[in-house]
Chain A
Amino acid sequence: MTEMLTGATVRKWIEKTAAVMAENRTYLTELDKAIGDADHGNNMDRGFKAVVEKLPEGDDIGALLKAVSMALISKVGGAAGPLYGTMFLQGSKPLMGKSEISFEELAQFFEDAVAGVKMRGKAEAGEKTMLDALVPAAEAFRKAGDLDAGLKAAVEAAEQGMKDTIPMIAKKGRASYLGERSRDHQDPGATSSYMIVKALEDAVSEAA
């Protein structure tokens, strides 16, 4: 049973995410090729590589997450940069100076992160975007009531949300230009969002 999420685990989460993005670079780009401009995998991989390089010493969780945000903003290039950048930036603000965070604080992090993405992308869930994975994940996490169960529920919700994007018609971003033709493709943004949530669960369960 994990009570608190430590700075070391957050660092591990970030490194794990970078590894997952590198591993799935081609897969994400393939997904993006179908409905976007075929750069999502490359962008995420490049962004998280830069993240790992620029990660500061220490276990200030807010500072770690802010560093993630800044690296993504300046390295990703496509829309995922400002969107994930905002997500981590908004989420990091209340966590500045904290070396461990509680279930409540992580729930708040998810909600702030989701709010940041909604604000930046002017989007809501159901539009075939990252939010389709992130919104249910944040809700499921809060509902579960503790860290371990919450992360498990969040991963399941994010995965379901990611799959739910397949029949959706895109309303935002380049995929929306395709209209009806954006159907039957899984959204690459929702997929990378799921991977990020999954990486957190993995990092936590390994630390336990």
Chain B
Amino acid sequence: MIGIVIVSHSKQLSDGLKELADAMSQEPVPIASAGGIDDPEAPLGTDAIRIMEAIQEVMSDKGVLVFSDLGSAKLNAEMALDLLDDDERKNVRLCDAPLVEGVLAATVQIASGGDMDAAIAEAREAARPFVDGAGGAGAASDGATEEGAAREFRIKTVHGLHARPAALFVQTVNRFDGPVRITNLTKKKPAANAKSINGVMLSEVGGNDVIRLSAEPAVADDLFAAIEDLVASNFGEAERAPDVPEGEPEQEAEAAPQAKAVTSGTLKGAAIAKGFAHGPIRQIRRALPDEVEATEVDDRDGEVDRFRAALAASETELRAALDAKGDGIAAYDRKIFDAHIAFLHDPALTEPVETGIRERGVSAGSLWRDAVADLSKSYRGLADPILKARGEDVIDVGLRVLRHLSGDAGEVAGATEAAILAFDDLRPSDVLTLDLDTVLGIASAYGGKTSHAGILASGLPVPVVFGLGVDLTGIAEGTDVLLDGGKAELTVAPDKALLDEIEAERVRLEKRRAEAQAVKNDPAVTKDGVRVRAAANLASLEEVAAVAQSGAEEVGLLRTEFLFMRREAAPSEDEQYDIYRQMVEGLNGGALTVRTVDIGGDKPVAYMDRPEEENPNLGWRGIRYSLAEPDLFETQLAAILRASAHGPVRIMFPLVSTLEEVTAGKVAVRKVMDVLKERGQAFDETIEVGIMIEVPAAAERASLLASHVDFFSIGTNDLTQYVMASDRANPKVQKLCDPFDPAVLSMIAKSIAAAHEAGIWIGMCGAMAGDPLAVPILLGFGLDEFSMAAADVAEFKLTLKGLSRADCEALAKKALEQESAAAVREMVAAG
């Protein structure tokens, strides 16, 4: 039998693909995996010698088919061919096809007795899964005629004809001569080639779907009998799809849920951006229309030109929108739009349109809508949320082109009157082109945080809620609504009581804010004259001005993750230096505490090549990761140190658990200092080096650690979740995740006492530091620095003015004796 060799940069990928392909076929096809290189330090890559050996392993007189992933894998596969003897080489073919789909398609074809050419053809068809019905995989070009014998079958496997059942089906059909076609009657799919795994997959046969098979009369009876057997044995699967009750109409597969008129009540969705908005709703339709009227065109060339002009105009528009944003758009976001532009050039979208115009004289708009609908549906049907989100991008581009085709050139989301915009489906480009002057808030029926529109909208200064459901579109234009971005709720026609409540809350907050603003530049002193340091947390260059004006004396925590995320490669030393320098220069002499990067398994960073972790919070992050990646770590340390020549800077290591980590971190600092000296670059030799106290082990050994560092800073979010062993993102247990729990408070008290005993200062940079209820307790424990969101600093100073250290010490002592977090809160609230 023909052998297959899988060449991938990743051994896991090629091994996994072999596993998958092995499971696809009844007849074992010899498959060899040649992934990765033999270097545990840098295992990604390909090795021509390993590929050559893999070819020899599966070699027979039938030949070998080699699949490879990216660029250099192909080079190495070619190299491997050169290394073979002439005799061996003549039976080996390289196949240019998408790796996963190609290998699976070829495996099924080979298992069905296909020859080399058939396997290659089938694998290549997998490259164009979206052009069904337009000459691609499984289209009518196989010469089958509707006049052949036909029979209908109901497929009862739970997932229909997918994976194994699909492969079994194709292998069975391939035992018979002549063209065989499959039509999914339930989903009204066009007929496809039943001998092609792609044709069958694209027919999307689900459990309970009815298919029609047509074949030449000579083979029809035997073929149908064989399929009958397969269906009777349920393709060897135990589980069957539940029966559809007799007489009841079957659910339309793609029937859009209908919105009912909504005049009151509250819709719940997914929180994207916080804030309140109250005002009239403005409905904006951004779903792909169900149909664009098809007309017959006489001038077919003219219509093709018109279509191309619409594509070009769309591209110009996208590029102009990007240019207008300039540097105000992250590289990652820019990529989303680069992908949009790429769609405009994608033959999977454009070819069916041009062919349809040329061959059938159909107008471009209708063909384009259908091509967009098909492609987006293919994406949306995928399980991977990232790929799924591309379906939304396809529709976004699709609508833009449709707009140009219909001659309507205006952008969509401009409003003249301030309103809350309700989208049936928000597109990424909508976010980019919003006119925020007239937008009070944004609501969308569909979408979530991981959608591209969600990622973009999360940065908007107005409340944004997605996923409110189709009922959102049933709210009449102009209806009065209240959008609460924090709670992710939209209340239709809010009653006076609710509005009054929110208004009263708003007034109260505003009054307090005004009082706080009046004292924001005062020193942070209690009424009995105890001075502490009010600091702000910082997470991007854009926030520096806000921090400088907030009344904060310094930055207690700079989260550097922003520098590393949503980009393609780690930032260089100069890039980081430049940003840290601008920050410290923007702080009017206040110190900048730079925390080295803490990227965990829960925050994917493409270029960091991190393994997926079962427990990212307990995993390879913080100082653990930095110490394992010296290049990354030392680059960052060098940048921080160089910035220290421009103003007071501190270095802080996150997620420290042991003294060993502290020592290793300090060794790295010293090493980088030597390098800088050698380079003749200036830095502050007396720079303070401290650690986060956020792991219970560190709090427990605070006395030991304190003698090795210059300061501590308590991270309450992580400390709380580790002390309480509860995930704050898990709604079932997040109640446990309360920093007021006496167990957490005790850890905090202990760390503060240990720091002072060793003669170092200690701060707190978690959410708790800015909580007015927590301030008296922390003050009572003796905390030196309170670092919080810049917006909370003024209020913190106001709170502080009302407290005395002596009272707080007694209160803090009492807090440690309480039974529960709730009891602590009650006690503090009671004063």
Q: Which A residues contact B (CB, under 8 angstroms)? A: 26, 30, 33, 38-39, 42-43, 46, 70, 73-83, 85-86, 120-121, 173-174
Contact = CB atoms under 8 A, between A and B. Distances in A.
A79 B39 contact: no
B332 interface: no
A75 B71 contact: no
B49 interface: yes
Given A33-B569, A73-B48, A79-B72, A38 B607 contact: yes
A74 B48 CA distance: 6
Contacts of A46: 39, 41-42
B571 to A, nearest CB: 10
A85 B48 contact: yes
Contacts of B50: 74
A121 B72 CA distance: 10
Given A75-B37, A85-B48, A42 B42 contact: yes
Contact of B572 (A33, A81, A83): A33
Contacts of A86: 79, 82
Nearest to A30: B572
B644 interface: no
A78 B72 contact: yes
10 contacts: A26-B631, A76-B45, A77-B9, A77-B45, A77-B47, A77-B72, A81-B47, A83-B75, A120-B75, A121-B75
8 closest cross-chain pairs (CB), A and B: A77-B45, A79-B72, A82-B79, A82-B75, A77-B37, A74-B47, A73-B48, A74-B49
A43 to B, nearest CB: 8
A79 B523 CA distance: 61
Contacts of A39: 42
Interface in B30-48: 37-39, 41-42, 44-48
B569 A38 contact: yes
Contact of A70 (B37, B41, B49): B49
A39 B37 CA distance: 14
B152 interface: no
A47 to B, nearest CB: 10
A100 B557 CA distance: 64
A29 to B, nearest CB: 9
B76 interface: yes
B78 interface: yes
Interface string B602-623: 0000010000000000000000
> Which of B39, B46, B75, B78: most chain A CB closer than 10 A?
B75
A75 B72 contact: no
> Which of A46, A78, A86: most chain B CB closer than 10 A?
A78
Interface string B56-85: 000000000000000110011011001000
A122 to B, nearest CB: 9
Nearest to B46: A77
A73 B79 CA distance: 9
B149 to A, nearest CB: 50
B71 A81 contact: no
A81 B42 contact: no
A82 B72 contact: yes
Contacts of B79: 73, 82, 85-86, 120
Given A79-B71, A121-B75, A73 B47 contact: yes
Contacts of A85: 48, 79
B116 to A, nearest CB: 24
A75 B75 contact: no
A77 to B, nearest CB: 2
B742 to A, nearest CB: 49
A30 B635 CA distance: 12
Contacts of A76: 37, 45
Contacts of B71: 79, 173-174
A149 B562 CA distance: 53
Nearest to B573: A30
Contacts of B76: 73, 81-82
A81 B78 CA distance: 12
B227 to A, nearest CB: 46
Contacts of A82: 48, 72, 75-76, 78-79
B48 A77 contact: no
A76 B49 CA distance: 12
Contacts of B607: 38
Interface string B153-195: 0000000000000000000000000000000000000000000
A74 B38 CA distance: 8
A37 to B, nearest CB: 8
A77 B572 CA distance: 24
Given A46-B39, A174-B71, A78 B78 contact: no
Given A46-B39, A173-B71, 8 more contacts: A38-B569, A74-B38, A74-B48, A74-B49, A74-B50, A75-B39, A77-B9, A81-B72
